[in-house]
A and B are shown apart, each in its own frame.
Chain A
Amino acid sequence: MRPLVVGGEALLVEVGSAAEVAALHAELLRRRAAGELGAVREIVPAARTVLLDGVRDPAALGARIARWELRPPAEGDGPLVTVPVRYDGPDLAEVARLWGVAPGEVAGLVGAVVFRVAFCGFAPGFGYLTGLPERLRLPRRATPRTAVPAGSLALAGEYAGVYPRSSPGGWQLIGATDAVLWDPAREPAALFAPGVRVRFAEVAA
């Protein structure tokens, strides 16, 4: 773990992998709940880092965290959300070709994965989902779309994601869901929060 001070009141802790981010994030939440962390306004996991913002002494906190022993979250940790998906995305045929399978097999391959929300960003409620096996990782589209419809299930690199609202995007669109990813009037507002596990279940198009 490498702690990096960010300005006067934030700390970025860099680790080696998405799995270590998950472990560090879980440990931070555990220690915050136990009252051991001190003042912190935001805990923001990302691809290889966790940001702690609104802390009193970032350098001292960094030195403390660097001595922690991290345990990866257990397989069954975190709430499980099942998201119904119609596998009819405009990139489905291309994704099947890249994977060397028939288009009809994509739903089974994706549906077999229990994803984990590694971090959020890009838009409120947009989660970066990890768990895709190495052989199913895909490049971004050469030309991003100017408007990806809300509810699109998309893949790129090591991540899967669902667009909470219509926005530009360069990920490969394989399907769509009617699930509401983001509703600020709901508690919790985000269906996908860091640590949530996600399954995509096929429904008829």
Chain B
Amino acid sequence: MSGLLVVRAGALTTVQDLGRPGHAHLGVPRSGALDTAAYALANRLLGNPPGAGVLETTVDGVGLRALAAVTVAVTGAPCAVRVDGRPAAWGAPVRVPAGAELSVGRAESGLRSYLAVRGGVAAAPVLGSRSTDLLSGLGPPVVAVGTLLPVGPPGPAPVAPADLCPLPGPPADLLLPLRPGPRADWFTEASLAGLWRAVFRVSARSNRIGLRTEGGSPLARAREGELPSEGMVLGAVQVPPDGLPVVFLADHPVTGGYPVVGVVPPGPALDAAAQAGPGTAVRFARAR
């Protein structure tokens, strides 16, 4: 029997791929791997197609028993990788014999590690995606001890050579480029000017839905009243009445009722946001 049996679930381990875009009008978030570069690298190392299912771990990794021999790769937050207790490579293909136990350890920096397996994690897709969507409850359930993760057939592409360069680790501070709009005019000019100087901290209440901030100087509203609910994009920085920005990540709601002061472009900045732990300093820099 092939597949990976979960023996240690970790703090929050989910199946992720590129998500399910195209269904926002039905109330379905995009979802998908938060650190998109680390996700893509893990699949590339194994010759998997770009949308293959992987495991996204949070803070303390995951433990799996291989029911048949598999090749895996761990990227994202750097961590110790072990096979039956023996150290193995991070950021490179690793062979796991049948019956061996693979351990993805605690993140040494950053939050989220990505465990890809050659052939992909083949959990049942929902609306074309294997992503676990924590906001909507779509996709495979959160990984638990005893979960059996099916592994798909390997594709024709080869496993990458060992000298492929892994990505650098997550930065200590978070600098997020922000393109103002569409509701920047809901805030006072003084507080908008102050936003480029403000230093926030990542709140422990952050999750796959959004990176919440605390500690910086709150934005002040220039106008009263409620904004009618409107469509939200990935990277939108929504400002609730407390004035503290929330950066929307992959499981963000498709519509929201608080004004969006600006948008962080998807890519390296949002990938870094996905790796920023509680207390990390957050600054915004004007982008166009």
What residues make up the interface of A, taking CB atoms closer than 8 Å to B? 4-10, 12, 41-51, 53-54, 119-126, 128, 165, 184, 189-190, 193-194
Chain B residues whose CB sits within 8 angstroms of the CB of A43 once the complex forms = 25
In Å, the complex CA distance between A5 and B260 comes to 12
Known A54-B21, A193-B26; further 11 A-B contacts with Cβ < 8 A: A7-B181, A7-B235, A7-B236, A7-B264, A42-B24, A46-B231, A49-B231, A51-B230, A121-B27, A190-B26, A193-B25
Do residues A46 and B255 form an inter-chain contact, with CB atoms below 8 A? yes
Q: Check if B276 is an interface residue, CB within 8 A of chain A.
A: no
Chain A residues whose CB sits within 8 angstroms of the CB of B253 once the complex forms = 121-122
Of A9, A44, A46, which is within 8 A of B228 by CB? A46
Report if A49-B21 is in contact (Cβ < 8 Å); known contacts: A6-B260, A124-B28.
no
Do residues B231 and A12 form an inter-chain contact, with CB atoms below 8 A? yes
Instruction: Find the B residue at minimum CB distance from A167.
Output: B137
Which size class do B's interface residues fall under? 20 to 34
Report if A124-B26 is in contact (Cβ < 8 Å); known contacts: A5-B181, A6-B263, A12-B182.
yes
Residue with the greatest number of chain A CB neighbours at <10 A, chosen from B127, B182, B232, B263: B182
Q: Check if B229 is an interface residue, CB within 8 A of chain A.
A: yes
Chain B residues whose CB sits within 8 angstroms of the CB of A45 once the complex forms = 25, 231
The 7 closest A-B pairs by CB, nearest first: A51-B231, A7-B263, A47-B228, A121-B255, A4-B182, A44-B231, A120-B27
In Å, the complex CA distance between A165 and B136 comes to 10
Do residues B27 and A122 form an inter-chain contact, with CB atoms below 8 A? yes
Q: List 29 A-B contacts (CB under 8 A).
A: A4-B181, A5-B181, A5-B182, A6-B236, A7-B179, A7-B233, A7-B263, A7-B264, A8-B265, A10-B233, A42-B231, A44-B24, A44-B254, A44-B255, A46-B230, A46-B255, A51-B230, A51-B231, A51-B232, A53-B231, A53-B233, A120-B254, A121-B27, A122-B253, A123-B136, A124-B26, A128-B229, A184-B138, A190-B26
Instruction: Find the A residue at minimum CB distance from B27.
Output: A120
What residues make up the interface of B, taking CB atoms closer than 8 Å to A? 21-28, 126-127, 136-138, 179, 181-183, 228-233, 235-236, 253-255, 260, 262-265
